[in-house]
Amino acid sequence: MVVGDFPIEIDTLVVGAGPGGYVAAIRAAQTGQKVTVVEKGAVGGVCLNVGCIPSKALIQAGHRYEEAHGADEMGIKTENVTVDFSKVQDWKASVVNKLTSGVEGLLKSNKIDIVAGEVYFVDQNTVRVMDEKKSQTYTFNNCIIATGSTPIEIPSFKYSKRILDSTGALNLKEIPKKLVVIGGGYVGTELGTSYANFGTEVTILEGMDDILNGFEEDMSAIVKRHLKKKNVKIVTGAMAKSSEESEDSVKVTYEANGKEETIEADYVLVTVGRYPNTKEIGLEQVGVEMTDRGLIEIDKQCRTNLDNIYAIGDIVAGPPLAHKASYEGKIAAEAIAGHKSEIDYNGIPAVVFSDPELATVGYTEQEAKEAGYDVKSAKFPFAANGRALSLSSSDGFVRLVTRKEDGLVIGAQIAGTNASDMISELGLAIESGMTAEDLALTIHAHPTLGEITMEAAEVIMGTPIHVAR
């Protein structure tokens, strides 16, 4: 191994080039900082390469395949629909490549140096960056750690040819005939739905009492109805115990309702959570404070207990969301520049690209009550919206949660088609301090799904037009 003779001095070092790291780097450069990014894998991180983007591409391809079979209620019939899954994977890869190359271009256009390698912290102002051939020491004034997270591996389900993490499931060469998904969270539900749309027989094993536990029961119930229509089997209260792998299949033994059951499939997808990438990079040696789970503790400006080291994304508390990481990256970069930016998570949405989509932002009604608010909530159904009916997507609702005293919007939930796009208006409403009246007075184009938000606001005000009072 060749060792660099002299340390290279850096103004701001960003460790990791995922959706948190590369955004932090660009914002830091915009504030006049000289920035270097170190990334041990591909630029774009998990999200762009093996997470958010390729999964949504595969989900969309599954929807297209499902839609290609026609719609009897519309009088549309088709025959002999086929899928070339290798081309699906090629198309998915092309989407990823466009975005990752775009990110590299953005970093370079902002005069940000990109260094390949793994980082190890030597002290509060020094790291060593290593690759297979060399090691180089860098000193920095400030550092933003954005190393992301890794899928949790169950001891009795070691990742292999037939037992997959989300990355493996996204890169299958063929459509499985049978797939077992261990974990009914958002990743398991999304990928399970995607393969079900391609015709795979899917079984979801969830250890808790329900799937999609981060969402309210009336929201997950809609998703479960649609999964049932796709012949997806959901087993809750299920504990995966062991696996037996052969050349072309894998047997899973699980326990549910006091009984031990065995199921055989082509593949098993394990999606039981992720752990932060904070081990073996020298943080303990430097004295960065962490929780028992390995999460780095930060203040409202993403600063650790060491005043020149910041942390963002999956390695700090909160949901492991790409847009949360990007948001925190901007805050950290601006804090280094002396701005008064602080994190406020209340306006951060969470979305599941299920069928139909689910989205939430701010407080749920129960959370608001637990926080001490006196609230009103109301929902308007997709079934009473002309655009939803014309899309043949009438299942779902928009729910608003408002403060009773003044109608201030403090939360919202959407279950239904295009929920992922619709939630942004409600995030804006919370961020800008809007009331239900403000939403009701906003003229929404007709016929659009966006009208459902306006109608929900009118329901909460007691003046609904398109549903009975």
Residue pLDDT, tens place only, 112-170:
999 999 999 999 999 999 998 889 999 999 999 999 999 999 999 999 999 999 999 99
pLDDT score, position 5: 60
pLDDT score, position 4: 52
How confident is residue 469, by pLDDT bands cut at 50, 70 and 90? confident
Residue 340 CA to residue 135 CA, distance in Å, equals 37
Residue 443 per-residue DSSP state? P
Q: What is the mean pLDDT of residues 309-338?
A: 97
pTM for the complete prediction? 0.95
Number of Cβ atoms within 10 Å of the Cβ of 467: 15
pLDDT score, position 6: 84
| DSSP conformation letters of 401-455 | EEETTT-BEEEEEEESTTHHHHHHHHHHHHHTT-BHHHHHHSPPPSS-TTHHHHH
Is residue 3 predicted with pLDDT exceeding 80? no
Q: Are the CB atoms for 53 and 25 separated by under 8 Å? A: no
3-state secondary structure of 395: coil
Q: Extract the runs of DSSP E, i.e. beta strands, from 231-298.
A: 233-236, 239-245, 250-256, 259-265, 267-270, 274-276
Strands 70-71 and 76-77, by their bridges, are antiparallel
3-state secondary structure of 292: coil
Q: What is the mean pLDDT of residues 293-319?
A: 97
Chain Cα centroid distance, residue 382: 25
pLDDT score, position 2: 43
Number of Cβ atoms within 10 Å of the Cβ of 282: 16
Class of domain 356-461: alpha beta
Q: What is the mean pLDDT of residues 15-39?
A: 98
Q: What is the largest CA-CA distance in the chain?
A: 77
pLDDT score, position 277: 97
Q: What is the CA radius of gyration of the chain?
A: 24
pLDDT score, position 360: 98
Q: What is the mean pLDDT of residues 377-400?
A: 97
Across the chain, mean pLDDT equals 96
Would you tell me which CATH number, out of the four given (3.50.50.60, 3.90.230.10, 3.40.50.150, 2.30.30.100), belongs to the domain 163-272?
A: 3.50.50.60
Q: What is the mean pLDDT of residues 33-55?
A: 96
From the candidates 63, 226, 444, 446, give the one annotated as an active-site residue: 446
How confident is residue 80, by pLDDT bands cut at 50, 70 and 90? very high
Q: Do the domains at 2-150+275-345 and 356-461 have one common CATH topology?
A: no
Please give the annotated binding residues for NAD(+), written as ranges: 183-190, 206, 273
pLDDT tens for each residue of 344-365: 999 999 999 999 999 999 999 9
pLDDT tens for each residue of 252-288: 999 999 999 999 999 999 999 999 999 999 999 999 9
Whether 446 sits among the annotated catalytic residues: the reply is yes
Domain boundaries, given as residue ranges, for the chain = 2-150+275-345, 163-272, 356-461
Q: Are the CB atoms for 22 and 322 separated by under 8 Å? A: no
Please give the annotated binding residues, written as ranges: 56, 147-149, 183-190, 206, 273, 314
- Opening angle at CA 415, ends 411 and 418, nearest 5: 105
Specify the fold of 2-150+275-345.
FAD/NAD(P)-binding domain (3.50.50)
| Helix or strand holding residue 60 (H, E) | helix 52-67
Please give the annotated binding residues for FAD, written as ranges: 56, 147-149, 314
Q: Are the CB atoms for 96 and 88 separated by under 8 Å? A: no
pLDDT score, position 49: 95
Residue 78 CA to residue 69 CA, distance in Å, equals 6
- Closest residue by Cα to residue 312 from 337, 338, 335, 285: 335
